[in-house]
Amino acid sequence: MRLKQIFLTICFIGCIIFVHQVAIAQKSDPLPSWNDGKTKTAIIDFVSKVTDATSPDVVPVEERIATFDNDGTLWSEKPLYVQLFFALDRIKELAPQHLEWKTQEPFASVLKGDLKKAFEGGDKAILEIVMATQTGMTTEEFKTIVANWIKTAKHPKTNRLYTEMVYQPMLELLGYLRNNGFKTYIVSGGGIEFMRPWTEPVYGIPPEQVVGSSIETKFEMRANGPVLMRLPKVNFVDDKAGKPVGINSHIGRRPIAAFGNSDGDLQMLQWTTAGNGARFALLVHHTDADREYAYNHGAEKALEAAKVNGWTVVNMKEDWKTVYPPETK
């Protein structure tokens, strides 16, 4: 019995030591998945500058606002946006109720697996797909549909859940900022109601801190109570010049730090860095074809602006020790 007590005591002490060592490591290196270099240094220097009470650039806690794009900045956006994969799965699910889709484009091509032909219509075809699959239900019904889908849907290349296709270094960055008094927001071109059901467990960002594109909703009184119906009409597009507008409408403060990856984020970064005092803008540049994807398309203007304005650019291949979190078994 005495030996058992000694053994348990040793295990308990060992656990305390381990937790203490982890805490020390996290404190000494708040971004462990980032390689040492100018990018990591720029982030830490900025945060230190605006949070040190003795710094001339210190920013009050209530003004420490950081905005993050989602697709391509916090999680993978290739080979298609995740919300588009959701819409494609919805077409297959709803097809038995829409026999006309067998011959009607772009639905017919989607059902045949010919996405190239389905998307020949460009933004018009995509909008038609989204409206047909994500409207005509209440906001609560849509929330449940999204929550159920995101639990099981997997990326076609990695076979990982989409919620595991998030970038580990960016998760650490979100936590690092919040630990230093920042309020973190998502400001994305994606649908606001598509993101809100899962951003809190995945990113630690509650639904009220998500800004996105939206469709029109309508109040209806039913026998069992009031509902909001999702209508097949665009309300607001939170992309490009729409992002500063969305920030102003939803947040009411100009961010002091903004993070993106494409031309769709350019105006958000411009708006952020145009304010007074210390400012920070960062672009995630996809340069790692082996661990993720390598591409410049759709980010040319933003990357050029980063050179001109001295914004920080993440070279994914060189700056990140790892891309995704460890796989859960």
Per-residue confidence at 7, pLDDT binned at 50, 70, 90?
Answer: very low
The yes-or-no verdict on residue 23 having pLDDT over 60 is no
In a 13 Å sphere around the CA of 110, the CA atoms on its Cβ side amount to 26
**CATH of 35-77+159-319 given 3.40.50.12780, 3.40.50.1000, 2.40.100.10, 3.40.50.300:** 3.40.50.1000
In a 13 Å sphere around the CA of 5, the CA atoms on its Cβ side amount to 2
Distance between CA atoms of 19 and 158, rounded to whole angstroms?
Answer: 32
From residue 257, alpha-carbon distances to 177, 184, 302 in Å are 10, 10, 16
Distance between CA atoms of 213 and 192, rounded to whole angstroms?
Answer: 6
What does the angle CA 240 – CA 241 – CA 244 come to, to the nearest 5 degrees?
A: 105
Decide: 197 and 150 in contact? Cβ < 8 Å: yes
The token pair at 277 is 């005092």
User: What's the mean pLDDT in 2-12?
Assistant: 44
User: pLDDT, tens digit, for every residue of 112-155?
Assistant: 999 999 999 999 999 999 999 999 999 999 999 999 999 999 99
From residue 299, alpha-carbon distances to 80, 197, 217 in Å are 16, 28, 32
The DSSP secondary structure of 127-196, one letter per residue, reads HHHHHHHH-SSBHHHHHHHHHHHHHH-B-TTT--BGGGSB-HHHHHHHHHHHHTT-EEEEEEEEEHHHHT
What is the three-class DSSP state of 324? coil
Give the pLDDT confidence score for residue 327 in this predicted structure: 81
Give the pLDDT confidence score for residue 3 in this predicted structure: 43
User: pLDDT, tens digit, for every residue of 254-302?
Assistant: 999 999 999 999 999 999 999 999 999 999 999 999 999 999 999 999 9
Distance between CA atoms of 184 and 163, rounded to whole angstroms?
Answer: 18
In whole angstroms, how large is the CA radius of gyration of the chain?
22
Residues facing residue 313 across a β-bridge: 283
Residues facing residue 34 across a β-bridge: 320
Give the pLDDT confidence score for residue 329 in this predicted structure: 58
Host H or E run for residue 258: strand 257-260
Among 180, 185, 170, 200, CA closest to 55: 180
Residues facing residue 218 across a β-bridge: 229
Rounded-to-10 torsion of CA 140, 144, 145, 150 = 140
User: pLDDT, tens digit, for every residue of 189-200?
Assistant: 999 999 999 999
Q: How many CB atoms lie within 10 A of CB 22?
A: 10
Distance between CA atoms of 197 and 200, rounded to whole angstroms?
Answer: 8
Q: Tokens 């650490």 sit at which residue? A: 172
Give the pLDDT confidence score for residue 22 in this predicted structure: 37
Distance between CA atoms of 226 and 223, rounded to whole angstroms?
Answer: 8
User: pLDDT, tens digit, for every residue of 162-191?
Assistant: 999 999 999 999 999 999 999 999 999 999
Decide: 268 and 258 in contact? Cβ < 8 Å: yes
Give the pLDDT confidence score for residue 27 in this predicted structure: 61
Give the pLDDT confidence score for residue 12 in this predicted structure: 45
Give the pLDDT confidence score for residue 28 in this predicted structure: 85
Distance between CA atoms of 268 and 263, rounded to whole angstroms?
Answer: 10
Give the pLDDT confidence score for residue 130 in this predicted structure: 97
Domain boundaries, the chain: 35-77+159-319, 82-144
Q: Tokens 């994606």 sit at which residue? A: 190
User: pLDDT, tens digit, for every residue of 54-108?
Assistant: 999 999 999 999 999 999 999 999 999 999 999 999 999 999 999 999 999 999 9
